[in-house]
Amino acid sequence: MELKGKCALVLGGGKGLGKEIALFLADRGATVAISYFDWPEESAATCRELADLGPNHLAIRTDLRVPTEVERLILKVSNEFGRLDILINNIERGGMPIVHGEYTSEQWDLEQETTLKAKRWVFHHTLPLLKKSGDGAVINISSIAGLVGRSGPAGLIFNDGYSAANRAISLLTETWAREGAPEVRVNELMLGIFVTRHAEGTRGWGLLSEEERTALIDHTLAGRTGRAEDVLKAVRFLLEDADYMTGATLRLDGGYLLGGERVPPMPEGVE
């Protein structure tokens, strides 16, 4: 896929990694629409940065938890662009246990509605446009929380509901790849612990003790948290180079899932 001239929708594009992906796509010549809802100051700054990159980009305030709002968003994108080639399904709400403590019913529902339900309705309404493109691509952004759950060092930053929702995203990715084929490729980018997403730049990271933060990094084979540029390289690969890849999951976690255990040296042999 050549990004120049393509039209993309980036959910959760007001701040964090969503913002970085939206600006990356716009800088490479795509026309970009972002959805945002809260974080008004950060979202306003992103809108200004998009405007500096070109006059045709859109920023649309949308409550993605409401299916009728999702339908309105996609209709606006269709009316403005007349097409859609790329969907970055980035929306989520991951309430860290270190921040929220014991679950309330409202917090559980919020995590399910944003992390899982919103992705489903957006894909449902964008699929006809993506198929019409003939060269469509969807990236479902998920978390390794779907594999590790509330366990180990990450138990303070991954909630039960958030983890369950992310486990379900993998199933949806495979189903949607079947629905989209052959015109639309659907892949999953499963992220570990990243700056502005569970790590530095989040409320929860500042509430962890130095020992707890060190335990998370020591459990990561790469020895650091992830950066925006790591995500952008993976997004570029999935969009531009992975023509024969659909229904797959690309795990980008610095080796967290493998854990911090090292391979011991071989013992002395028996003489």
The CATH number of the domain holding residue 67 is: 3.40.50.720
Give the chain's length. Answer: 271
Percent share of the chain, pLDDT over 70: 100
Reported pTM: 0.94
Q: In which element (H, E) is residue 249 found?
A: strand 249-252
* Predicted confidence (pLDDT) at residue 158 exceeds the cutoff of 80: yes
In a domain, 269, yes or no: no
**Which one is predicted more confidently, 258 or 46?**
258
In a domain, 53, yes or no: yes
Percent helix / strand / coil, the chain, rounded to 5:
50, 15, 35
Helix-helix angle 105-112:160-180, to 10 degrees: 20
In a domain, 271, yes or no: no
Number of domains composing the chain: 1
In a domain, 1, yes or no: no
In a domain, 265, yes or no: no
- Least Cα distance to 163 among 65, 100, 95, 107 occurs for 95
* Predicted confidence (pLDDT) at residue 154 exceeds the cutoff of 80: yes
How far is residue 93's CA from residue 185's CA, in Å, rounded to a whole number? 25
Residue 213: how many other CB atoms lie within 10 Å: 18
In a domain, 131, yes or no: yes
Find out whether 19 and 46 touch, Cβ atoms under 8 Å: yes
In a domain, 267, yes or no: no
At residue 271, the pLDDT reads 65
Quickly state the pLDDT bin for 39 (edges 50, 70, 90).
confident
In a domain, 2, yes or no: no
Find out whether 170 and 121 touch, Cβ atoms under 8 Å: no
What average pLDDT does this structure show over 142-149? 95
Print the domain residue range for 239: 7-251
